[in-house]
Amino acid sequence: MDKYLVLYNPFADNKRGREDAEKVKEFIKDASFRFEDVTKIGDMEAFLASVPSDEKLVLTGGDGTLNRFVNSIDPDRLSIDVYYCPAGSGNDFLNDVGRNEKNLPIRMNPYFKKLPVVTVKGKDYRVLNGVGYGIDGYCCEVGDKMKAESDKKINYTGIAIKGLLFYFKPVNATVIVDGKAKEFKKVWLAPTMNGRCYGGGMIPTPGQDRLAEDGLLSTLVMYGTGKLKTLIVFPSIFKGEHVKHTEMCEILRGKEITVRFDRPCALQVDGETILDVTEYTIRSVK
């Protein structure tokens, strides 16, 4: 009988992380399971070194759990196989690679190799899905505040619409791709993506391939329009059809990309919020 060590975050999915972790048994049959609270592991590298050779490691949760894992170790030096079963409120990684329950759990080692690195306020973070900057960062900022006040599920689409109409003010931005700078006025969104999906189902860069050998990253800039036009086009980002609006959406691709705003805004890295950011630089390491 196979043995599995399941790491879970009790605070994931509105504090249903332990309950969600039990769902791994629906995908893996005829096996024994041991569960560990990932928030109680101080040194992940040392913990992984202590995992018995006859146990397989499974991560459960959402994008935040994956993000914390790859930023607590050196994923390029993983000596054991790591698997993933989704059990969180946000599963943009799964949306990108394809929801197929027959293939669960997913072996993550190929997806953890050579992840891009973003520098924000002097600190480096590995990026699994993408970096959001603009109204997407604003949505995470507001969502975090709502989570602190209630256990209710957060409607990020509703936050985005209200932000577009009333609260978020567009910025001017400079985007530098492999040394070449371009200026944009009235920028609403400026995410850079390793995968295609973020924000609970949005597809800002439909042509991006996280496993491509060239290692190129994609930055979407949505810019130059007023509230009404932006609000009309914005829902099409959930199908990746916003790119048809070339008068207001441009995708830039490169190995090193810097996005600089003319005023501080919230930024998110795989759903983790960082406040008061004026710029970020993301680099491919492939």
The mean of the pLDDT values for the chain is 91
Decide if pLDDT at 39 tops 80: yes
- What is the per-residue burial (b if ≥16 Cβ within 10 Å, else e) of 133-145? bbbbbbbbbbbbe
pLDDT, mean of residues 187-199: 95
Of 3.40.30.10, 3.40.640.10, 3.40.50.10330, 1.20.120.1750, which CATH number belongs to 2-112? 3.40.50.10330
Check residue 98 and give left, alpha or beta (phi > 0: left; psi -120 to 50: alpha). left
Distances (CA, A) of 127 to 52, 196, 249: 29, 13, 23
Q: Do you find a cis peptide bond into 105, omega within 30 degrees of 0?
A: yes
Q: Note the Cα 223 to chain centre separation in Å.
A: 22
What is the value of pTM for the model shown? 0.91
Please name which of 12, 22, 4, 69 lies closest in space to residue 41, comparing C-alpha atoms: 69
Examine domains 2-112 and 117-283 and report if their fold is the same.
Answer: no
pLDDT tens per residue, range 67-92 = 989 999 999 988 888 999 887 666 89
In this structure, which topology does domain 117-283 adopt according to CATH? Answer: Tumour Suppressor Smad4 (2.60.200)
Give the confidence band of 26 by pLDDT, cuts at 50, 70, 90: confident
Decide if pLDDT at 23 tops 90: no
Domain segments of the chain as ranges:
2-112, 117-283
Distance CA 111, CA 114 (A): 8
Secondary structure (3-state) at 9: coil
Lookup result for tokens 């609270």 = 37
Least confident residue range of 44-48, 181-185, 241-245: 44-48
pLDDT tens per residue, range 94-136 = 989 986 656 678 999 999 999 999 999 999 999 999 999 999 9
